[in-house]
Amino acid sequence: MDAAVVSGSAVGGSAAADGDGARERVFVLRLRDRPGTLELVAATFAHRGVSLHMTLANGSQGDPEGLATVLVAFRAAPARTAALRAALGRLSRVV
């Protein structure tokens, strides 16, 4: 999954960190295109107290591996970002 995730990118506005080091982040995920997959991703963020600012997804049509690509934007400190990356990496639907 590490190759499929980009984190630390600025998303609109100022990329300045808050007092806790929180910054705008972007993850680009490759997912198995199954019902409920996006809900699993959103729940992973919600259970860690992180709101998604934006999601952008495409279906798996035309992808030779049958995978969808989902971009999620959020604001989090480095430690929480690392925890999210680890949790998403444990999901069987995230490639």
Q: What is the pLDDT along the chain (95 residues), one digit of tens a residue?
A: 444 454 444 444 445 566 678 999 999 999 999 999 999 999 999 999 999 999 999 988 888 998 999 999 999 999 999 999 999 999 999 99
DSSP string, 12-72: SS-----TT--EEEEEEEEEE--TTHHHHHHHHHHTTT--EEEEEEE-STT-TT-EEEEEE
Full-model pTM: 0.79
